[in-house]
């Protein structure tokens, strides 16, 4: 088995069919599987999943479990995956069919190789509801396409150019046996852990310049809405603390990997700091300081390196001036650059 698609599914009756249709593109699916993890849905998600399972019994498997949250559903899928590679596809997202054919062709080549790559990276597109112009995140400026790379061959990333769950196809062995990944249950935003903590176990990677993943955002109640993120500050903090706990020391990993980890950790420290400031809650101002103190205590080298970045310097200005700078920076990013 070459590839397992893990599809965490919770109350997605209106979206699951679109997702599955985008995965069922090949006439011969004998070397791929779709593992739908129904995470205690209360709508018609499970019935729809079972219907697809009955239509494609050799391709689709359904696991029905009590609700454990997104992380718990991903854990279940990764633990039960039969493919050499694993790709998480959230049930309200979908994949581009042409790009998927090209990616599958390369994965099949890797499956026959003496030393298959640990990680395959592809592009992803923000499918923002109500927006006609779509933003696609590509990596051609930092990784040479169609080439087996080590981390020291990877260049510097821009602030808006991150390796998210949507862009990653891990070798299953890396997640299960090397990283022993176990995401927190009943916690949002654990995809940041998924895209960060296993990377020190990745020795080789390959970038395919394919616009594969379509990331659907903007629907009401979604976890990345500003008000929703402010309400879930405690979960944002939990995720970043886990990232801090798994951050290696400088000399423990290749320099190129450590540079990227600092880049992504800085972005996540920024996200938490921004939403704690946007909340206008004095308790959250205190928690922001506590989070930075946690970084200094548990990963002192990373703390030094994060604070040296331009973003880190702005985030750690104390008092009303610092909070004003954070609000100004967020306003620019949100209204001009177009990010949340």
* Predicted pLDDT at 129: 64
Angle (CA) 268-272-278 rounded to 5° is 140
Q: What is the pLDDT of residues 97-106, one digit of tens each?
A: 999 999 999 9
Is the pLDDT at 79 greater than 50? The verdict is yes
Q: What is the mean pLDDT of residues 34-60?
A: 97
Q: What is the pLDDT of residues 189-228, one digit of tens each?
A: 999 999 999 999 999 999 999 999 999 986 554 555 788 8
* Predicted pLDDT at 324: 85
Q: What is the pLDDT of residues 126-183, one digit of tens each?
A: 987 666 668 999 999 999 999 999 999 999 999 889 999 999 999 999 999 999 999 9
Judging by DSSP bridges, how do beta strands 94-95 and 60-65 pair with one another? unpaired
Q: What are phi and psi of 219, to 5 degrees?
A: -75, 150
pTM for the model: 0.93
* Predicted pLDDT at 29: 86
Question: Which percentage of the chain shows pLDDT scores above 70?
Answer: 94
Is the pLDDT at 48 greater than 70? The verdict is yes
Across the chain, mean pLDDT equals: 93
**3-217 under CATH 2.40.420.20, yes or no:** no
Q: What is the mean pLDDT of residues 234-256?
A: 97
> Would you call 114 helix, strand, or coil by DSSP?
coil
Lowest-pLDDT choice from 4-13, 64-73, 130-139, 272-281: 130-139
- Tokens for 229, please give them: 């993120």
**187 and 99 in contact (C-beta within 8 Å)?**
no
| Residue (of 206, 171, 192) closest to 86 by Cα position | 171
- Parts of the chain belonging to CATH 3.90.550.10: 3-217
* Predicted pLDDT at 336: 45
For residue 337, name the pLDDT band (cuts at 50, 70, 90): very low
| Residue (of 51, 52, 77, 74) closest to 63 by Cα position | 77
* Predicted pLDDT at 128: 75
β-sheet bridge partners, residue 214: 94, 125
CA dist 319 to 21, 113, 245, 277, 316, Å?
A: 51, 56, 27, 11, 9
């Amino acid at each position: 088995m070459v590839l397992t698609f893990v599809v965490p599914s919770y109350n997605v009756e209106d979206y699951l069919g679109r997702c599955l249709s985008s995965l069922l593109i090949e006439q011969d699916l004998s070397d791929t599987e779709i593992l739908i993890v129904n995470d205690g849905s209360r709508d018609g998600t499970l019935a729809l999943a079972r219907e697809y399972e009955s239509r494609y019994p050799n391709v689709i498997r359904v696991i029905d479990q009590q609700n454990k949250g997104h992380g718990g559903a991903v854990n279940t899928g990764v633990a039960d995956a039969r493919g050499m590679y694993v790709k998480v596809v959230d049930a309200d997202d979908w994949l581009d069919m042409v790009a998927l054919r090209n990616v599958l062709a390369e994965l099949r080549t890797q499956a026959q190789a003496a030393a298959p790559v640990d990680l395959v990276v592809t592009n992803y597109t923000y499918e923002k509801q109500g927006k006609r112009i779509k933003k696609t995140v590509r990596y051609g400026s930092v990784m040479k396409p169609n080439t087996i790379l080590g981390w020291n061959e990877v260049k510097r990333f821009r602030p808006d150019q991150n390796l998210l769950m949507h862009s990653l196809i891990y070798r299953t062995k890396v997640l299960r046996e090397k990283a022993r990944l176990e995401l927190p249950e009943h916690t949002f935003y654990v995809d940041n852990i998924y895209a960060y903590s296993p990377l020190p176990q990745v020795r080789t990677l390959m970038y395919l310049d394919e616009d594969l993943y379509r990331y659907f955002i903007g629907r009401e109640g979604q976890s990345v809405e500003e008000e929703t993120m402010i309400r879930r500050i405690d979960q944002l903090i939990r995720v970043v603390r886990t990232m801090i706990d798994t951050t290696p020391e400088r000399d423990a990993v290749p320099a190129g990997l450590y540079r990227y980890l600092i880049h992504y950790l800085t972005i996540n420290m920024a996200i938490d700091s921004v939403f704690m400031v946007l909340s206008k809650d004095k308790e959250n101002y205190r928690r922001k300081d506590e989070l930075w103190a946690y970084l200094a205590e548990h990963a002192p080298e990373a703390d030094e390196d994060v604070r040296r970045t331009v973003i880190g310097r702005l985030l750690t200005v104390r008092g009303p001036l610092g909070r004003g700078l954070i609000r100004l920076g967020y306003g620019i990013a949100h209204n001009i650059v177009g990010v949340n």
